[in-house]
Chain A
Amino acid sequence: MRAKQESVNMMCSRKLLRAVGLAAVIAGGVLAAEPVLSAENTLIWASRASYKDWDPAATYSEETYVLGNVYETLTLYENGEVKPRLATSWEKSDDGKTWTMQLRKGVKFHDGYEFNAEAVKKSVEWTKSEGRGASYLWSGLTSIETPSSHTIVFKFKSPIALDLVASGQYGSYIISPGAIKKGHDWMQKGQGYGTGPYKLVKVEPGVQVILEKFDDYWGGWEKGQIDRVIVKTVAEGATRILMIKSGEADIASVPSDQVKTVDAFDGVSVTQGTSWRNSMFLFNFKKYPTNNAKFREALTYLWDYSAVLNDILHGIGTAPIGPLPKSMWGHGEYKMPAYDPKKARKLLEESGIPKKDWKVSAMYIGSVGAYANSIELFQATAGEVGVQVELFPGDWGTIWDKAKKLETSANIQSMTWWPAYATPQDWLYAQWRTEKKALFNLSFYSNPKFDKALDEAIAIEGVDVKKSVEKYIEAQDILMKNHPAIFFADVDRYYAHSDKLKGMEKQFNPAYETLFVYDLRK
């Protein structure tokens, strides 16, 4: 009996062994399939971004990282100058309301349409009429004339710095008449035709976006340039890091606290440069106790600026010198507060606010480490002098809805700002000009002197940009006297990339968040 039992056992174990062996052989055969590494002229970009609006007339978010390769603007802003792009020259009337532009010849759209004045007229008028994204930039437009095939005349009802507006990465892309005919919904599916060096070939939401070289691009092509771009959506930061380390991805966005580690990988570098983003915590001017100027000033001395920049932002940002980033023209320079609890305490006592009321609420996007960690640090440092900070993290949609109404808003509100085009008014107008119903003026700041100086600056910007600087500075002077916010970082942009990739230094024009693949070589 036992012998039979044992032989049955052995038979079963042998069968088991055979099954396991077979599985191992199959697995080995499959695993022998080689991992696909980046091909020579394909750029693989591992990105976290979730893209939403593929219609360039509607886009107002991360799509510009990619779309800036597919579409182009009439002018290009670079190093403080406006340079020709699809427009080769331009002049404006003395009152700044009429702009005449000469357009580049020999440019084609991806679908074969000719780039000319008619096409530009159609594109701009369509952007304006759709009313989406940054179309408000064109709201003052009254008419467009096309006296010749490559001459176009824009007329506005108030003066406007059109050369600046037309260089913007939102709302100023020139779209092919063929794409316009197919319409917004068609484009939103991830399709469209521009004049840029790369065609938008395919969009698989949540998986990848494919761009391919446009052979007839007016800028021409040379050896070593990228033929194909695969933008892979990789949600998890650790995965992106592994991909850049193995060389499977040529370029990737990595979490800021991993920058030093990633830079140390063999064959990988992290390149950093200026952007026009700045981060701040706005003060609520209509909510007690931040409606008290000395109290606000005291709070600005309770923030540990260097700790935040070094240990929380890990060097991905620099100390601000005013409400605008130092890389933006027309920025004012101010003596900014430093972490000084003694001074803060003195100001608190001078403010007249009773100690029992030294309580503030702070609302911020909880998933953004820069906000969450820095406000928690602030809670600690403020607590040391007796100021209680109550934290209200959340997602942007919810927070914004609450912040727009005074009753549900907080004393301190997180904000990161960057402009639609190269102008100080973008910050100053949206965030601090009087708003009857709050949209982005989440400080509920209302100062007629500030409004007047700002309005004057905006009016002159269209006529004489250099003169407008004086007025912009005047407006900022008024603003800064009121202690409007804790300005804690001029944020840099950075990419982790393979060392084989050349041309990364050119990617840090703060006017464009696009990764300009045309300038890269592999």
Chain B
Amino acid sequence: MIKYVVHRLILMIGILFGVLTITFFLSRVLPSSPANLILGDRPTAEQIAMAEEELGLNKPLLVQYALYMGEIFRGNFGNSLRTHKPVLVEIHDRMGATIELTSLAIVIVVLVGIPLGVLSAVRQNSWIDNLVRAGIVGGVAMPAFILAMVLQIIFYGRLNWLPIQGRLDSIMLLDVPFAQVTGFFLIDTLLAGEWGAFKNAVSHIILPTLTLSIVTLASVARITRNVMVEVLREEFIHTFFAYGVRRRIIYYRYALKATLIPMLTVIGLTYGYLLGGTVVVEFVFDWPGLGGFLVFSIVQNDFPAVLGTTLFLAGAYLTINLVVDLLYYVVDPRLRKQ
């Protein structure tokens, strides 16, 4: 078991190295020179030359690569060309926002999506099943940004119940400082005892979470339903029915357990996807997270930021997959016997 974990960790480092290399060469090959980023709107020829010198862009590509990898091993990821802050600081500041949002979303997705899928499978072809399936199709087809804007228009524009953007009111950010312990506003405001700020943070996170959840929930519900339907066709389920075991116990104790392995996989992959896939939601709600940061960095070829953030997201994704694989051991006694 330990051997397995160590083996996976070594593999992970290898993969991350590959990710870094590919991303590095991609960013250098892209047509737009990153020098444009650190220059203003109207640079002179000398300023352009100076910027390229500063970024080391006039050295041969392999030399640049070697220099960059050397810096990485020393833990120096450089500064973002756009914000002038160290990339590691940017990632640290922003990951809290993204992880808070995606964690909350995944909780809702699991708590709502899975029961919905089960309900749909259990009452196959009933009106509930049809309603859920229609909802699933709608949710999967709905583009996230349209859902986001519709929610904004309804809950902010018409009803004025919820704020339209950001993590916290501007005035709150200024006048109610609280220590950023975890990077999660919901936790940090409670730790600081700031009840008003906590309420404010909750009201701000509702719409982005709802958008993310609804869009993801549909896929999870659909997969749960399909997997559950498959399981319900298994012989051992028929046997339980034949023995007269109560329906509720069959569905929620035996059948559901059998769906755990595929469900774990789906949840793990979904969470990984969400980490980077929050871009649209972050953009529409001005949520200062990693997804939006990565996209803006790519578009402007802010290559230190692109490399650092890609590495982080790749690492997070790989770690989640590792955790999921380890959870298989916990969940499946057959694997443990080996």
Contacts and interface: CB of A to CB of B under 8 A. Distances in A.
Nearest to A210: B174
Nearest to B148: A236
B149 A42 contact: no
Interface in A381-411: 395-398, 400-402
A227 to B, nearest CB: 12
Contacts of A33: 196, 199-200, 203
B286 A207 contact: yes
Contacts of B162: 31
A31 B40 contact: no
A35 B32 contact: no
Interface residues of A, number: 60
Interface stretch (B78-86, B98-106, B259-267, B323-331): B78-86
Interface in B190-217: 196, 199-200, 202-203, 206
A238 to B, nearest CB: 6
B74 interface: no
A44 B196 CA distance: 21
B62 interface: no
B139 interface: no
A232 B170 contact: yes
B85 A35 contact: no
A275 B44 CA distance: 24
Contact of A30 (B44, B46, B85, B199): B199
B288 interface: yes
Interface centre among B152, B164, B206 (most CB of A within 10 A): B164
B152 A242 contact: yes
Given A5-B246, A246-B160, A207 B166 contact: yes
A36 B169 contact: yes
Nearest to A30: B202
A230 interface: yes
A205 B292 CA distance: 12
A60 B292 CA distance: 25
Given A185-B84, A439-B45, A396 B170 contact: no
Interface string A129-147: 0011110100000000000
Nearest to A396: B36
Nearest to A4: B246
Interface in A115-137: 131-134, 136
Given A239-B284, A245-B157, A8 B170 contact: no
A61 interface: yes
B54 to A, nearest CB: 12
A325 B161 CA distance: 46
Contacts of B206: 30
Interface string B168-190: 01111110000000000000000
A208 interface: yes
Interface string B36-50: 110011111111001
A242 B36 contact: no
B44 A439 contact: yes
B299 A131 contact: no
A401 B31 contact: yes
A397 B36 contact: yes
Interface centre among A35, A202, A206 (most CB of B within 10 A): A206
Contacts of B31: 398, 401-402
A378 to B, nearest CB: 25
A274 interface: no
Contacts of B153: 242
Contacts of A365: none
Interface in B207-246: 246
A239 B299 CA distance: 22
Interface in A9-48: 12, 29-31, 33, 35-36, 39, 42, 44
Given A60-B41, A246-B156, A131 B50 contact: yes
A235 B171 contact: no
Interface of B: 31-33, 36-37, 40-47, 50, 82-85, 149, 152-153, 156-157, 160-166, 169-174, 196, 199-200, 202-203, 206, 246-248, 283-286, 288, 292-293, 296, 299-301
Interface stretch (A51-59, A256-264, A282-290, A356-364): A51-59
Contact of B286 (A133, A233, A398): A233
A72 interface: no
A312 interface: no
A232 B202 contact: no
B32 A398 contact: yes
A493 interface: no
A42 B174 CA distance: 12
B172 A35 contact: no
Contact of B42 (A42, A134, A238, A239): A134
A241 to B, nearest CB: 9
Q: Which 5 A-B pairs have the closest CB atoms?
A: A60-B40, A397-B32, A397-B36, A398-B32, A33-B199
A12 B40 CA distance: 64
Nearest to A419: B42
Contact of B40 (A29, A36, A59, A208): A59
A420 interface: yes
B203 A31 contact: yes
B156 A242 contact: yes
B152 A44 contact: no
A243 interface: yes
Given A239-B164, A439-B45, 9 more contacts: A29-B199, A33-B196, A35-B160, A39-B171, A189-B84, A230-B170, A233-B286, A243-B164, A246-B156
Contacts of B36: 396-397, 400-401
A335 interface: no
Given A245-B157, A401-B33, A61 B40 contact: yes
Contacts of B292: 206, 235
Interface string A201-226: 01011111010000000000000000
A8 B251 CA distance: 14
A437 interface: yes
A248 interface: yes
A188 interface: yes
19 contacts: A5-B247, A5-B248, A50-B82, A60-B43, A134-B42, A206-B292, A207-B286, A210-B174, A232-B170, A233-B286, A236-B283, A246-B157, A395-B32, A396-B36, A401-B31, A401-B32, A439-B44, A439-B45, A440-B42
B233 to A, nearest CB: 23
A420 B42 contact: yes
A164 interface: no
Contacts of A439: 44-45
B108 to A, nearest CB: 11
Contacts of B202: 30
A479 interface: no
Nearest to A203: B83
A36 B199 contact: no
B165 A131 contact: no
Nearest to B199: A33
